[in-house]
Structure 1
Amino acid sequence: MILTIFVVFFICLFIGVPIAIAIGSAAVAAFYLDGTFPLAQIPHKMVNGVYSFPLVAVPLFILAGSLAGETSIAQRLVRLASALVGHIRGGLGHVNVASSMFFGGISGSAVADTAAVGSLMIPAMEKQGYSREDAGAITICSSTIGILIPPSIPMVLYGVTVGTSIGALFLAGLVPGILVGLLLMVTVYVMAKRKGWPQSERRAPVGELWEAFKGAILSLLLPVFLLGAIVTGLTTATEAGVIGVVYALFLAGVVYREYSFRQLFWITVESAVNTAVPLFVVATTSVVAWVVAIEQFPAELVSFFTELDIGPIFVLLLMNLFLLVVGMFIDLVPALILFAPILLPVAVASGMDPIQFGTMMVVNLGLGLVTPPVGNCLYVGAAIAKVDLWKLVRASVPFLLVNVFVLMLVTYVPAVSTFLPSLFF
């Protein structure tokens, strides 16, 4: 059955079938050709796949991110980032990265980060002398921070898929996310010296810095409240998602007064559509995951690598190479849900903690968001920057190497992702 699933799945991908339909079609073909299980099992497994309280956190975080993205929250965060780091060589490049770090703690989505920060920063960077491709490259590569710094939608999906603590996963992504941001800023500084990128004419005075901080503090408190509530055990991730939505509504509707009921209606509709896509993928992938489990494919995979006797270092390297290729052709959400249950036993057999493995998967598959041919952030960034896709890819290479370096750290230095979770869980 597993062979049938993968053959049909890749044929569907090759002819351009949407990913969720491709996975579902592969499952139907496998059930039909095998004949062991009735086709009626498929809708049953699909419903069971999404019938999960923790999974409710996904639409809630998506809605909270949409509410934040449609207000001045992003502008306030950019203003704070500019006051903090705008005076450094390559100032707007640093502002771009810092803004992604701040906004990533609100949206939990790399694509939302690219759209919100990119629409503000790319035109401003172009006016100050940056090329469009350089501005776009910094934007899309820093947007991957959004899926690492909590709250992270991919971390929620991984936790639900393999039954791991979502709070621990949120903490696990914090250090890698900060590392990516800091190392990207170092890269921006080096590139600024080499390419002659400009810097701000002055350091922000204390008064201006304080005003920027006051304007952004209520927005910055959102991820602090969410992570604090989950880590301390006051709420589950789903309940924290409710807090996030209510808080975002309070900021936009009461404090900033930026919403009309018409806007709120369309934001809700857009969030519902954006929620339907990953949840439909979860539903169809649940059928494949069930087949993989009953066929004991993960156990066979562990035996295969054990017999190869190549050592855990090379096993983890092979898994990373495999996931890098997968991420180039399959979007992050379906790739995460499909391969996490298959590869996790191999990772555990190689001495990797499930929390560490989840962080590794998210960092790895996040690279696929900014690489062709499927990278969603790549296409959004190219559209905002109005630049040729392949020029943007070339300009992104130095910044992508930062993500690859952090990926290797997460893979081979467990403390990078497990130290903070070990303090609380």
Structure 2
Amino acid sequence: MTAILFAAFFVTLAIGVPIAFGMGVATVVALAWGGTIPLSIAPHKMVNAVNSFPLVALPLFILAGALAGETSIAPRLVRFANALVGHIRGGLGHVNVAASMFFGGISGSAVADVAAIGSLMVPAMEKQGYTRTDAGAITITASVIGILIPPSIPMVLYGVTVGESIGALFLAGLVPGILVGLALMTAVFFMSKRKGWPQSERRAGAGELWASFTAAFPSLLLPVFLLGSIVSGVVTATEAGVIGVAYALFLGGVVYRDYTPGELFRILIDTAISTAIPLLVLATTSVAAWIIAIERFPAAIVGFFNQAQLGPIAVLALINVFLLIVGMLMDLVPALILFAPILLPVAKAAGMEPIQFGVLMVVNLGIGLVTPPVGNCLFVGAVIARVPVMQLVRAALPFIAVNIAVLGLVTYIPAISLWLPRLFY
């Protein structure tokens, strides 16, 4: 049935059926082809997949990010980032990356990062001498940080899918997220000399730095508070999501007064739609994952690698290559849900812990968000920068290479993603 499942799924993809529906059709075709399992098992598995208390964290974090994105949080974070690093050569490029690091700790979404930061930074960078293409390239590649620095929506989905601690996954993504940011800022620094990118402005004085920090402090406090409360065991990830929504409402409605009742209603509607899509994907993909599991497909892959006598380095390299290709062809959510249960046993056989593998998958598929032909961040960035997609891809290639280099470090140096979780779990 597994072969029929994949064949039917890729046929539906080829003819343009949305992934959630295509996966549902593929599972029904596979079950009907096998003939030994009643079709009624499909809705049963779908309901069980989304009937999960930890999964409630998903819409809550999406709502918190949406609420934050509609406030003056992003401009305040950009102002603080500018005060910190704007004086360095290629300053606004550094500001772009640093702002993504800060905003990623609030939104948990790469696409939200591109939309919020890109709309502010691309016009500002153009005024200072950057091309719109270069500004867009920095923006989309920095968005990978948004799904690594906690809270992270993909980490929630991975934790629910494979049964790992969401708090430990949040901690595991923190150092890799910072590492991606520092690596991109290094690339910006060296490219600024070659391309003649200017400094943003003079070095901010102590008073200006303090003023920008105090303006951004309530926003910066949110990810620190959420992660601290989860790691300390005071709340679960789901309960932290409730706190995040309440805090975002307090900031936007009381402190900054950015909301109107009409805007709040629109945010709730948009959040419902944004939540329904991954949940439907999770529901249909869970049936496919169950079919794959009962046919012992992951065990067969492990057996194949054992017979091939490939070492752990080669196995993990092949997993990375496979996921980079998958990320180009599928969106992050369905790819994560479908392939995590399949590839995790292979990674474990190669000596990788599940928490580290979660970070590896998120970095991998995050790179897929900025590569054609499916990358959501790529297309959003092209719209914001008003440049052709392939022109943006060419400009982003050096930064994508930097992200892939960080992926290599995450793959072969376990301490990068595991030392923080080991301190607390």
Q: TM-score range by the shorter chain?
A: over 0.9
Structure 1 residue 150 corresponds to structure 2 residue 150:
yes
1:55 maps to which residue? 55
**More displaced 10-residue stretch of structure 1: 301-310 or 376-385:** 301-310
Query: What corresponds to 1:244 in structure 2?
Result: 244
Shift of 1:258: 1.2
Task: Say whether residues 1:127 and 2:132 are aligned partners.
Answer: no
Q: Per-residue deviation at 1:200?
A: 2.4
Deviations 1:128-153 (A, max 9, x none): 11001100000000011000000000
RMSD: 0.6
2:8 is matched with: 8
Q: Distance in 2 between matches of 1:134 and 1:372?
A: 17
SS, match of residue 37 in structure 2: coil
Matches within 5 A, 1:296-375: 296-375=296-375
Distance 1:359 1:128 in 2: 36
Partner of 1:200: 200
Q: Shift of the alpha carbon at 1:359?
A: 0.5
Cα offset for 1:319?
Answer: 0.7
Q: How far did residue 34 of structure 1 move? A: 1.0
Aligned: 1:255 with 2:255: yes
Superposition pairs for residues 17-416 of structure 1, below 5 Å?
17-416=17-416
Matched to 1:130, the amino acid is Y
Q: Kindly indicate whether the alpha-carbon contact (under 8 Å) linking 2:128 and 2:200 is maintained by their aligned counterparts in 1.
A: no
The CA distance in 2 between the partners of 1:224 and 1:253, in whole Å, is 21
SS at match of 2:369: helix
- State how far apart, in whole Å, the 2-side matches of 1:130 and 1:218 are: 31
The amino acid of 2:41's aligned partner reads Q
Find the aligned partners of 1:360 and 1:138 in 2 and give their Cα distance. Answer: 22
Task: Tell me, in whole angstroms, the C-alpha distance in 1 between the residues paired with 2:41 and 2:180.
Answer: 43
Offset, 1:201: 3.0
Cα distance in 2, alignment partners of residues 142 and 367 from structure 1: 10
In the TM superposition, residue 341 of structure 1 has moved relative to its aligned partner by 0.3
Structure 2, unpaired ranges of 5+ = none
Give 2:361's aligned amino acid.
Answer: M
- Superposition deviation, residue 289 in structure 1: 1.1
Q: Letter of the aligned partner of 2:14 in structure 1?
A: F
Residue deviations 1:171-226 (CA, integer Å, cap 9, x gap):
10000000000110010011111100111231111111111001000000000011
Gaps of 5+ in 1: none
Matched, 1:424 2:408: no
Question: Which SS does the other structure have where 1:11 is aligned?
Answer: helix
**In structure 1, what residue type is equivalent to 2:126?**
E
**How far apart, CA to CA, are the structure 2 residues paired with 1:184 and 1:311?**
31
Within 1, Cα distance between the matches of 2:290 and 2:354? 20
Alignment deviations for residues 1-37 of structure 1 (CA, whole Å, 9 cap, x no partner): 1001000001111111111111111001001111111
Deviation of 1:298 after TM superposition, in Å, equals 1.1
Secondary structure of residue in 2 paired with 1:212: helix
> For residues 256 and 97 of structure 2, what CA distance do their matches in structure 1 show?
25
Cα offsets for 1:110-140 (capped at 9, x unmatched) = 0000000000000110111100110000000
> Which deviations, in whole Å up to 9, do the C-alpha atoms of 1:266-318 show, x marking residues without a partner?
00100110000000000001101111111111111111111110111101111
**Hey, what's the Cα distance between the residues in 2 that align with 1:118 and 1:28?**
41
CA distance in 1, matches of 2:239, 2:292: 31
| Counterpart contact for 2:161–2:337, Cα < 8 Å | yes
Report the CA distance between 1:384 and its aligned residue. 0.3
DSSP-derived class of the 2:396 partner: helix
Contact 2:86 2:201 in 1 (8 A): no
Structure 1 distance, partners of 2:368, 2:202, is 37
Q: 2 CA distance for matches of 1:65 and 1:293? A: 34
Residue 40 of structure 1 and its aligned partner are, at CA, apart by 1.0
- Secondary structure of 1:370's match? coil
TM-score (norm 1): 0.99
- The answer on whether the counterparts of 2:87 and 2:202 sit within 8 Å (CA) in structure 1 is yes
**Structure 2 SS opposite 1:248:** helix
TM-score normalised per structure 2 = 0.99
SS of 1:202's partner is coil
CA distance in 2, matches of 1:161, 1:368: 20
Structure 2 distance, partners of 1:295, 1:52, is 25
| Distance in structure 1 (CA, Å) of the matches to 2:95 and 2:36 | 58
Cα shift at 1:400: 0.6
Query: Equivalents in 2 of 1:128, 1:325: separation in Å?
Result: 36
Name the SS for the 2:215 alignment partner. helix
Which whole-Å deviations, capped at 9, do the CAs of 1:238-260 have from their partners, x for residues lacking one? Answer: 00000000000001111111111
Distance 2:337 2:231 in 1: 24
